[in-house]
Structure 1
């Protein structure tokens, strides 16, 4: 019978552990050992006196019996790799993910593979095809210069084109290119060393943490925190050798005169939440003793800001300056900084919601350190006398600024910042008259910032790995309880949900969800935002008094007992790409990959707040609809046990180094305790499953009952519909009958109207008929006169125009008579009219070419004039008669209308 693993459907998540990217073959191992030995030989001659190299202690044993093909990759050369990981003094992060590209650091080598190609190759093609694809699939190797150290961290910028390769005392920045499957196995990458003068072979300047600034304009600003509490910001695109800005979190502290006291070195740092306008411009620094400091603003020289955040910044600083009646020198600094910031404001080329600004350069003031933060109440202390803080994380929660602090003892403090981040500047100290320094720090009346420790979570590591150490001081001896293994926990935020974070460490990984109590805090925050102050203090007091616990679960265990072979988690990424499943990838120091599939939350159904209708809502529903659904939402209630950690299993996945599981187990007290704990855990898991089954069965019964009720309701509704259909048909028949009756009434009304019109329209009398004939005759005469008038008027216009022409001709002939012969003059004198006024040119032409000109006598003209006069009189008489006739017709029409009435 096939095992459950063999029956499992092949997916990229369960096939990824078999990928070549997590193998270490013989050639790679020998090359790695050769480079590492050559590097160490520069410091000391390791091979003197017959001593072997650290890589050669177990090389023969690793090689012996490992030439069996596939099983070789599970144990070849991994002991030396684990030894190198144990030498790290900081938490490791040897995996990085950007989109669908996965990068893994193995020793001094960086490898790459595409998860999207892996998914397309292994899924939906059968198990044999998936196994064949995994055997053929090879990873790419990034050839990066200057990487002559064991890689501790891989940090990608937001665009995925720059990678910070971090070692203990060296940082290399690699420029990444788009890698395709057609590329060669070895891909060359351009690289350069970052801050070589400040980090290489500098004892107190060991690298603590490296992060890319989230608001950098070109995503090229990287921040490096070192042990000496100095935070250096580099712009790798401008000058990778010298820092652009340096922030000192140890200002005012003189470590040279501690007289044997431990120095409070930096342990980690993080940026603030994006939900605050100053959040991503704020940096929280954590020291090894657990103190928290903050600096704000930590701004790149060129950065992007949300337009809404810039408006909030302008409002806050402007209000502080205006409210001060007597502006101090620091108020002037705020004003200068704000004005300089607004002057450099430029719109984003592709978005209206983002603006580009430049960091203002102040002449005297500098960004001041804030803190240490006061813990109120103080966190719960475990029995570890050597407890140190290791990492800090700011959660993306809108309700409040939530800080998480991880300690080496396995304690996790969840803190709520009382106030949001705010900027603070300081002026240099100046001498007073009495010779003392006057500190011109901002807001001297304001005390230290405060964080409220809401919860201290114990991961249970100290109970398993604690050891007792005898110490003596002042003649007294006492027992000290300390962590028996080196532990450097690392915090990682969930990419989708701001209320969930992960912590991986020496013995495995845990998941923590603050959702149970963050929802109530969010409701209080919303009420405060809406100015609902009634009972707000009481709600806050009740919130802190309720002490709602976070959901905590162990997801992976790599070292179940103190005597187990160490296999710490050295890589962690959360996959949130839409094409890939929402899942977690964890890598152990023995190159074992653990893939865990997560479950996304449904937006429609909230598992934390059942939507049972209230009494008032039920009353309203009953008034509007007689039927009410008996089922409540969500369907399965608050199953926090199964769904609390985004679908992660209730029991951790136990992962042991290769070869350990098959070894003979020795019965010891630790082993028995671990087995008892696991059995108890599985019993609790079974109880949760049984409870979920009972709830599911109850839900099924409720759904069956509701289905029966719905069937009965549907049957009753069907009967009512039949009755309503019969009534509706009766109403339709009545409407048809009424429509027919209406049509008959309309016909009768038309007939009555016609009769009334005929009765009113009687036959005319003889006088009326004669009068009508007379009117028609006169109308005809008027029309004839009108036509005659138009014709006479036309003739009159023609004759008048001809008369004018004749007069012009006669006048022209008389004026030209003096220049010609006497015969012509005598002939022109006998004529009283001629052509129009002749010009000199026409006269000359008539002399040169004499032509016969038609002339009219005075008698002819007089006769024409007389005819025109007669026609004009006739026309006037016609017009007068026409007007008279028209007036008479109007009188007749008025009389006719009066008679009709």
Structure 2
């Protein structure tokens, strides 16, 4: 396929995006029901347990990618096709396969692919099911329908009329064999199902909303007891991966930690890192003596027990820092208390309210973590390597960006005297512009306000699989792209400045920090008809060999694609050069001396600036997305007559002004680029002229000048040799004139040295009177006598010990007799020591202190 062709042209007419049978069958449903308007608003907002409508949660995600295979849910059908065939143009007729799943008898609102890519979880308004996907190569099968095994999950909890609506489904990344499915219902119950063990009963149940006590009254808003979404925490050496966050419709954030699947496959390196993290915490708290430190010490004791139970499950030989590998781990049961629900989080400072909005329910949340290891090592972003960002979306188009500065730690539901609420630092509040866009649409007095359409809006997040700082928000009126890399860069600069200035300029740096880049890429709102086609699916392939684009699907089953751009990583500084050995230091210094430019003005000044040329923002598209959002309307509106209304005129005027401003920016950018090209051409001409001059000079140096220089160097070398010989002769003559013979003192000094050498080394080789021979004789005598003396010393020591033991019970006469015998032995030892000392004095050998004197 030609890379210039857009995927929208390839997939626009694909039959996989045809409407479900309910819109094309014998009694077709009106396609108007797919639109969000004032007439269809009740079907999007009113809850009907007997119908699988979009009302219960409003979350829609009916399109996912499995490598090069596209999976789309249309009504109650699951369709699959291969994008690789479309890219390589292997088939002229576009086809797809329908997965035959008789157990699924509900409208599919959400689909989620497990980490292994073999299971597909589907959810409607109230029911959940899991489908076993066909093996690769399904596209070569002849039948259009493929039988697939499917099973419903938790029918007792999710298939009854009294069941709570499904808020979100997600596979746990650490589930054993990728079979752990998490199902969150709006009543705050998170149920964990292990598909390989039991599909009916959950392995674990987490409650984010406590049960109401009997005969009690709680004055709380209903939105405070309805969960909108949940997400998993992230981290490397902390409790982040074992933390799960949930947000209620009122915007309250709760967390439960620790949480892991009943059958988890956890990297061994993470368990060792968590152990080091807790050990460091305990060592730090051991230095404090306050009451708060004691309370935290008790908490860390619980955490130590938890991690110790994890370490006991590691197989023998799994030591740190060995290569990490996934290990089957089960949640420890050493701590009987369940994990505590932490929250609600304090949002500091309080998020602002959008102008013209009465507020709205929270709809989704996402946790972003930034790790330098993902970028290939340590880089400039080391200051934010452990920073977590929590993003919360609301119905009115508000997105709160919060920094997870105080990481959640494991806590258990035990009696505690004081438990502070966790905190999230609100960095900024993003306005997607939905309120202002709907406010510009005029409505008559009989018609409802266009702002009422926000009641059916359900923004949801989708993280870019390649760039962690890019996230997309899709909602009922289009798609927005958010890039938080400016936030991370600003925080990194602020922290670096704070370290260098001692904490004096952190506040000022944060006041000047940049915000998240917001770019609308698609709008589905029809100003003329005052309706919209909500976005029901967004997918981004993680296979760059296929394509790096974003696929967007609307409720009218219209597919739109935008190519994305891969970012180029900045060049890293070269590694530090190892210094050569000391013997080559002179050559290195001489070489660097000649390569050092001389002082003064440079010999050549370039017309270009030192910094590289950066194109203007109008001509650069780092993300590859369009500057203005594309308008996507259903196919049915193309044949209708266009009506000119004040709203359409206003929309056309606004779009025209934006296009005119963009054209002006492009013209200025083109003019700047032309000037740069002319400057580079002039610089190229100057450099070519300079190169010709240098080439002429080099040719002259290689020709006659080189021969003359070589002859001159030879003459200089000959003259140098002659001068050195003359200098040697002159120096010798001066020395002979100054002192022709040795003086009397010098003669005596040399004779004394000769005599001392004879005394030390001897006149001949076998001179026994030399100091060397006498020293060797003394060493042999010393070696012969020392064992006997040591043995005698040991005997004397043992005798003294026995004497001390015996004298404790001896009488006066016996002690006197032993004392006389001891005096005699001491006299004998003194005589032997005196003999050895005399012998050493005769042989001029220095001995240490005798044993009796020590």
Both proteins in one fold, TM over 0.5:
yes
Quickly say closer, same or farther: Cα 1:605–1:147, change in 2 above 3 A. Answer: same
Q: Is 1:401 aligned to 2:410, yes or no?
A: no
Q: Is 1:425 aligned to 2:421, yes or no?
A: no
For structure 1, the residue ranges without an aligned partner over 5 or more in a row are 1-5, 35-52, 63-77, 123-132, 428-439, 471-478, 607-619, 742-901
What is the aligned partner in structure 1 of residue 323 from structure 2?
352
Quickly say closer, same or farther: Cα 1:468–1:381, change in 2 above 3 A. Answer: farther
What is the aligned partner in structure 1 of residue 270 from structure 2?
309
Q: Is 1:459 aligned to 2:432, yes or no?
A: yes
**Deviation per residue, 1:593-645 (Å, 9 max, x gap):** 00111111122479xxxxxxxxxxxxx99669965766458754274455466
Report if the CA contact (8 A) 2:52-2:125 is conserved: no
CA distance in 1, matches of 2:645, 2:87: 43
Alignment of 1:724-763 (within 5 A): 724-726=701-703, 727-731=705-709
Tell me which of 331, 337, 343 is aligned to 1:365.
337
Q: Is 1:380 aligned to 2:325, yes or no?
A: no
RCO (CA 8 Å, sep 6+): is it higher in 1 or 2?
2
- Give the Å deviation of 1:578: 2.3
Stretch deviating more after TM superposition (223-232 or 296-305): 296-305
What is the aligned partner in structure 1 of residue 311 from structure 2?
342
Alignment of 1:642-791 (within 5 A): 643=620, 646-726=623-703, 727-731=705-709
Alignment of 1:479-558 (within 5 A): 483=453, 486-524=456-494, 527=496, 533-535=499-501, 537-558=503-524
What is the aligned partner in structure 2 of residue 189 from structure 1?
148
- Give the Å deviation of 1:684: 2.8
CA distance in 2, matches of 1:321, 1:8: 57
What is the aligned partner in structure 2 of residue 161 from structure 1?
118
CA distance in 1, matches of 2:419, 2:500: 28
- Give the Å deviation of 1:725: 1.3
Report if the CA contact (8 A) 1:197-1:241 is conserved: yes
Quickly say closer, same or farther: Cα 1:391–1:19, change in 2 above 3 A. Answer: same
Aligned Cα RMSD in Å? Answer: 3.9
Stretch deviating more after TM superposition (157-166 or 460-469): 460-469
Q: Is 1:110 aligned to 2:78, yes or no?
A: yes
Quickly say closer, same or farther: Cα 1:15–1:331, change in 2 above 3 A. Answer: closer
- Give the Å deviation of 1:9: 5.3
- Give the Å deviation of 1:379: 1.1
**How many residue pairs were aligned?**
649
CA distance in 2, matches of 1:533, 1:177: 56
**Deviation per residue, 1:416-439 (Å, 9 max, x gap):** 122233222222xxxxxxxxxxxx
Report if the CA contact (8 A) 2:353-2:359 is conserved: no
Stretch deviating more after TM superposition (323-332 or 291-300): 323-332
- Give the Å deviation of 1:706: 2.8
What is the aligned partner in structure 2 of residue 817 from structure 1?
none
- Give the Å deviation of 1:465: 2.8
CA distance in 1, matches of 2:393, 2:2: 40
Report if the CA contact (8 A) 2:306-2:335 is conserved: no
- Give the Å deviation of 1:407: 0.7
CA distance in 1, matches of 2:451, 2:630: 29
Q: Is 1:229 aligned to 2:188, yes or no?
A: yes
Tell me which of 3, 9, 20 is aligned to 1:14.
9
CA distance in 2, matches of 1:260, 1:99: 46
Tell me which of 200, 208, 215 is aligned to 1:249.
208
Alignment of 1:96-245 (within 5 A): 96-121=64-89, 133-134=91-92, 136-180=93-137, 181-183=139-141, 184-201=143-160, 203=162, 205-245=164-204
Report if the CA contact (8 A) 2:352-2:429 is conserved: yes
What is the aligned partner in structure 1 of residue 822 from structure 2?
none
SS where residue 89 of structure 2 aligns? helix
Quickly say closer, same or farther: Cα 1:397–1:604, change in 2 above 3 A. Answer: closer
Quickly say closer, same or farther: Cα 1:484–1:317, change in 2 above 3 A. Answer: closer
Tell me which of 379, 389, 405 is aligned to 2:362.
389
- Give the Å deviation of 1:160: 0.8
Alignment of 1:856-875 (within 5 A): none
Quickly say closer, same or farther: Cα 1:533–1:548, change in 2 above 3 A. Answer: closer
What is the aligned partner in structure 1 of residue 21 from structure 2?
29
SS where residue 353 of structure 2 aligns? coil
Report if the CA contact (8 A) 2:52-2:106 is conserved: no
CA distance in 2, matches of 1:685, 1:277: 47
What is the aligned partner in structure 2 of residue 777 from structure 1?
none
- Give the Å deviation of 1:89: 3.2
Quickly say closer, same or farther: Cα 1:117–1:627, change in 2 above 3 A. Answer: farther
- Give the Å deviation of 1:272: 2.0
SS where residue 18 of structure 1 aligns? coil
SS where residue 421 of structure 1 aligns? coil
Stretch deviating more after TM superposition (140-149 or 634-643): 634-643
SS where residue 690 of structure 1 aligns? helix
- Give the Å deviation of 1:182: 1.8
**Deviation per residue, 1:117-160 (Å, 9 max, x gap):** 211117xxxxxxxxxx45x1211111123110110011001221
- Give the Å deviation of 1:219: 1.1
**Which protein shows a greater Rg?**
1
Quickly say closer, same or farther: Cα 1:362–1:13, change in 2 above 3 A. Answer: farther
Report if the CA contact (8 A) 1:20-1:139 is conserved: yes
**Deviation per residue, 1:752-808 (Å, 9 max, x gap):** xxxxxxxxxxxxxxxxxxxxxxxxxxxxxxxxxxxxxxxxxxxxxxxxxxxxxxxxx
CA distance in 2, matches of 1:330, 1:498: 33
SS where residue 218 of structure 1 aligns? helix
SS where residue 366 of structure 1 aligns? coil
- Give the Å deviation of 1:687: 2.9
Report if the CA contact (8 A) 1:222-1:236 is conserved: yes
For structure 2, the residue ranges without an aligned partner over 5 or more in a row are 35-39, 45-50, 372-383, 573-594, 720-854
SS where residue 525 of structure 2 aligns? coil
- Give the Å deviation of 1:319: 3.2
Quickly say closer, same or farther: Cα 1:454–1:312, change in 2 above 3 A. Answer: same
Report if the CA contact (8 A) 1:464-1:561 is conserved: no
CA distance in 1, matches of 2:80, 2:267: 34
TM-score for the superposition, normalised by structure 2? 0.69
Quickly say closer, same or farther: Cα 1:723–1:402, change in 2 above 3 A. Answer: same
- Give the Å deviation of 1:576: 3.1
Tell me which of 237, 248, 261 is aligned to 1:300.
261
Tell me which of 445, 448, 454 is aligned to 2:421.
448
SS where residue 504 of structure 1 aligns? strand
CA distance in 1, matches of 2:263, 2:15: 41
- Give the Å deviation of 1:702: 3.2
- Give the Å deviation of 1:732: 5.1
Alignment of 1:281-296 (within 5 A): 281-296=242-257
- Give the Å deviation of 1:485: 5.5
Quickly say closer, same or farther: Cα 1:592–1:480, change in 2 above 3 A. Answer: closer
Quickly say closer, same or farther: Cα 1:303–1:673, change in 2 above 3 A. Answer: same
Stretch deviating more after TM superposition (715-724 or 263-272): 715-724
Quickly say closer, same or farther: Cα 1:517–1:285, change in 2 above 3 A. Answer: same
What is the aligned partner in structure 2 of residue 819 from structure 1?
none
**Deviation per residue, 1:184-214 (Å, 9 max, x gap):** 3212211211111111225462110011111
Report if the CA contact (8 A) 1:85-1:589 is conserved: no
**Deviation per residue, 1:77-100 (Å, 9 max, x gap):** x99x99987546322111001221
CA distance in 2, matches of 1:516, 1:16: 34
CA distance in 2, matches of 1:162, 1:11: 30
SS where residue 706 of structure 2 aligns? helix
Quickly say closer, same or farther: Cα 1:634–1:696, change in 2 above 3 A. Answer: farther
- Give the Å deviation of 1:693: 1.5
Alignment of 1:594-633 (within 5 A): 594-604=560-570, 631=608
Stretch deviating more after TM superposition (592-601 or 181-190): 181-190
Quickly say closer, same or farther: Cα 1:197–1:385, change in 2 above 3 A. Answer: same
- Give the Å deviation of 1:540: 3.0
